[in-house]
Amino acid sequence: MPRLTISAAEEQLAFEVTVKEIEEWWQTPRQSHIKRPYSAQRVASLRPSLPTKYASSEQALKLWKQLNEHLKNGTHEMTFGTTEPTVVSQMAKHLQTVYVSGALCGFSEVAEPGMDHADYPWDTVPKVVDKIFRSQQWHDQKQHHFRMLHPVEQRDGLEHWDYMAPIIADGDMGFGGSTSTIKMTKLFVDSGVAMFHLDDLASGKKRFTIGQGRTVVPFSEYIDRLTAARLQIDIMGAETMLLCRCDVDHSEFITDIIDPRDHEYVQGATVPIASLIDTMREAAEAGDGLPLLQVRAKWIKDSGLSTFDEAVKAVATEQEYTAYIEKLGKGTVSLKARRAIAAELVSKPVFFDWDLARSRDGQYFYKSNVKAIVERAIAAAPLGDVTWARMDLPKWDDLVSFHTQVREVYPDRLFAFGYTGDYDFPKAGFSTEAIKTFGEDLAKMGVVWQVQPIWCLQGLNMLTEQFSKLWRERGLEGYLETVQKPALATVPMTDGFEKASYCGSYLADAFFDTLAARDFGEGSSGKTISAKRQR
Ligand SMILES: C[C@](O)(C(=O)O)[C@H](CC(=O)O)C(=O)O
């Protein structure tokens, strides 16, 4: 292998130029809101020597512009999730962006399907983004070619779609440690993604079903994840946007109590009692008692499970509790410091043991509220570009409270919101009128990107069921009437084999034509319109 001939002095000079370029880049309007906990020197030292440009940057700049435009106008983008190129090509006609959902990938893009546990390989979603991005480029290319086959005076009458809708993708929890987050980020940037999101859920513990519990990682681990992703984006010199998603809402567990910023929300037993695990084990061994879920529910009741502050409130006088809260102030107070304040101001002892309540997996019980989400969102904001408080249930007051509090600190913040298929809006108290204006009302609080992540699961699934029935019952007549006729008549540019051959035959013909031209002269196939003129 030949040795590089560049001298150390030249290498140093090039390094210093790169550092300066990075510093200048970080001052641009797209970058200036991001605050890194590392230097441009560090980024420059981590860069490989071959400068590379990424389509992800173009797409991110486009998305950045679209979302800021919405923010300025109080409007919003609505999109939905898919993993299917044939769906994406039609979305482009009405929507500005495309979402690639992890849940959908887990159902349809893996060898072994399963529910939304983010238990598929770390490169699954970036590979699907790559597939979608290539399909967008193909549609874009054939549309361009189709237009160029027509004389300029006819082109205004042709359809002209922006197929290159920025793709937003699901990075889940970054798939393990910082190195996997870094590798996934690299693949996302390579794939052409415009933005991806990282959340604070625990790897292997993305559990939504009752009794299993949603588990978050400590505050610091969440911030580390986002920092790892931002660092890798910077190393690649890309504009790729990062969406900071926070899953604290409705979380039942946290994996560790290492970060004092979480202590306020961790729950423990407030009476001396056998630990939850021992209680469950004994019940299982006895084999004659209650089902284990009921044993757990009984233990939760018997243990007086609550946060330390709730435990203080339960034993203190009203005056003592007020003094305790006042002394806590607004900053971070660890459990140790809370115990000391309580010992000083409360006359009765406060029993609190969070270890007794640990789960079989070692998790601690966690009690989330809007304040906890706000704290994480504010700490995460400087590393990313958009914020999303993922909420299971659409509580309007919580939504208002969350966005208002974050906007007090970051008035120009861009926000995202996800609609899942089984939100029960009427049950949550939304009137028909409120449902109609829900998206617009959110947009007024800066929620500029709104997504139904798993429409394909519910919507496309339903359409497939309906069509299967129709196909079975009405056969060809039903197909012609309800599919082919409208597809050819009203949407002549669907991906089907319609008159205009818009599914790509012109493009393929152009390739064959170009090759044949060597032997038979230009325009040999004679199939394309004005092909001769365009070569
Ligand atoms: C966005 C999401 O992460 C996804 O995988 O699509 C899911 C979707 C859903 O549950 O509806 C999520 O919000 O966790």
ipTM of the complex: 0.97
Name the least confident of 151-155, 224-228, 330-334, 516-520: 516-520
Question: So what's the pLDDT on residue 427?
Answer: 86
Name the least confident of 166-170, 290-294, 379-383, 396-400: 290-294
Rounded CA-CA distance 284/265 in Å is: 30
Question: So what's the pLDDT on residue 151?
Answer: 95
Q: With bands split at pLDDT 50, 70 and 90, how would you rate the model's confidence at 525?
A: very low
Rounded CA-CA distance 529/535 in Å is: 12
Question: So what's the pLDDT on residue 159?
Answer: 83
**Closest to 225 measured CA to CA, from 246, 206, 205, 204:** 246
Mean pLDDT of 431-455: 96
Q: Ligand 1 mean position to 189 CA, how many Å?
A: 21
Q: Ligand 1 mean position to 365 CA, how many Å?
A: 23
Question: So what's the pLDDT on residue 26?
Answer: 98
Q: With bands split at pLDDT 50, 70 and 90, how would you rate the model's confidence at 513?
A: confident
Q: With bands split at pLDDT 50, 70 and 90, how would you rate the model's confidence at 530?
A: very low
420, 451, 460: residue to mutate for ligand 1 pocket, most atoms within 8 A of CB: 420
Q: Ligand 1 mean position to 169 CA, how many Å?
A: 11
Token pair of 44 as six digits:
């420059």
Mean pLDDT of 418-445: 91
Q: With bands split at pLDDT 50, 70 and 90, how would you rate the model's confidence at 214?
A: confident
80, 82, 101, 243: residue to mutate for ligand 1 pocket, most atoms within 8 A of CB: 101
Q: Tell which wins on pLDDT, 334 or 208.
A: 334
In the structure, which protein residues have their CB atom closer than 6 angstroms to any atom of ligand 1? 81, 101-103, 116, 170, 390, 418, 420, 453-454
Atom of ligand 1 nearest to the CA of 101: 6
CATH top class, domain 52-255+368-453: alpha beta
105, 116, 214: residue to mutate for ligand 1 pocket, most atoms within 8 A of CB: 116
182-201 pLDDT, tens per residue?
999 999 999 999 999 999 99
Token pair of 272 as six digits:
């001396």
Q: With bands split at pLDDT 50, 70 and 90, how would you rate the model's confidence at 464?
A: very high
Mean pLDDT of 394-418: 96
Q: Name the residue with tokens 């004994």.
A: 282
From atom 1 of ligand 1, which residue's Cα is the shortest distance away? 453
- HEC string for 387-417: EEECCCCCCHHHHHHHHHHHHHHCCCCEEEE
- Residue 521 pLDDT exceeds 80: no
365 to 200, 213, 293, 357: CA distances (angstroms): 16, 10, 15, 7
* Residue percentage of the chain with pLDDT more than 70: 93
CB 267 within 8 Å of CB 306: yes
Q: Where are the domains of the chain?
A: 1-51, 52-255+368-453, 267-358, 475-533
From atom 10 of ligand 1, which residue's Cα is the shortest distance away? 420
183 to 128, 233, 393, 396: CA distances (angstroms): 16, 11, 33, 37
CB atoms near residue 451 (< 10 Å): 23
Pick the CATH number of 267-358 from 3.30.70.141, 3.30.420.40, 1.10.1380.10, 1.10.10.850: 1.10.10.850
Annotated binding site: 170
User: Who contacts 292 (Cβ-Cβ below 8 Å, separation ≥6)?
Assistant: 280, 283, 284
What Rg do the C-alpha atoms of the chain give, in angstroms? Answer: 28
Q: Ligand 1 mean position to 198 CA, how many Å?
A: 12
What is the DSSP-derived secondary structure letter of residue 497? S
Backbone CA torsion sign across 476, 481, 487, 492: positive
- Residue 531 pLDDT exceeds 50: no
Q: Tell which wins on pLDDT, 361 or 528.
A: 361
Q: Ligand 1 mean position to 44 CA, how many Å?
A: 35
- Residue 532 pLDDT exceeds 50: no
Atom of ligand 1 nearest to the CA of 390: 13
Atom of ligand 1 nearest to the CA of 106: 5
Name the least confident of 266-280, 315-329, 416-430: 416-430
Question: So what's the pLDDT on residue 212?
Answer: 62
128-156 pLDDT, tens per residue?
999 999 999 999 998 898 889 889 999 99
170, 216, 458: residue to mutate for ligand 1 pocket, most atoms within 8 A of CB: 170
Question: So what's the pLDDT on residue 491?
Answer: 57
Q: Ligand 1 mean position to 103 CA, how many Å?
A: 6
Q: With bands split at pLDDT 50, 70 and 90, how would you rate the model's confidence at 506?
A: confident
Atom of ligand 1 nearest to the CA of 105: 5
- Residue 248 pLDDT exceeds 60: yes
Question: So what's the pLDDT on residue 526?
Answer: 41
Rounded CA-CA distance 382/378 in Å is: 8
**Phi/psi-derived region of residue 237, left when phi > 0, alpha when psi is between -120 and 50, beta in every other case:** left
Atom of ligand 1 nearest to the CA of 116: 5
Buried b / exposed e along 512-534 (16+ C-beta atoms within 10 A):
ebeeebeeeeebbeeebeebeeb
Written as one letter, the residue type at 187 is L
Rounded CA-CA distance 149/141 in Å is: 12
What is the DSSP-derived secondary structure letter of residue 98? E
Annotated binding site for Mg(2+): 170
Question: So what's the pLDDT on residue 428?
Answer: 84
Atom of ligand 1 nearest to the CA of 199: 3
215 φ, ψ to 5°?
Answer: -120, 130
Q: With bands split at pLDDT 50, 70 and 90, how would you rate the model's confidence at 482?
A: very high
Rounded CA-CA distance 196/359 in Å is: 32
From atom 8 of ligand 1, which residue's Cα is the shortest distance away? 453
66 φ, ψ to 5°?
Answer: -60, -45
Mean pLDDT of 279-292: 84
Written as one letter, the residue type at 290 is L
Rounded CA-CA distance 248/244 in Å is: 12
Across the chain, mean pLDDT equals 91
Q: Ligand 1 mean position to 99 CA, how many Å?
A: 11
Q: Ligand 1 mean position to 109 CA, how many Å?
A: 15
Q: Ligand 1 mean position to 172 CA, how many Å?
A: 9
- Residue 412 pLDDT exceeds 60: yes
From atom 6 of ligand 1, which residue's Cα is the shortest distance away? 101
Rounded CA-CA distance 375/364 in Å is: 19
- Residue 16 pLDDT exceeds 70: yes
- Residue 19 pLDDT exceeds 50: yes
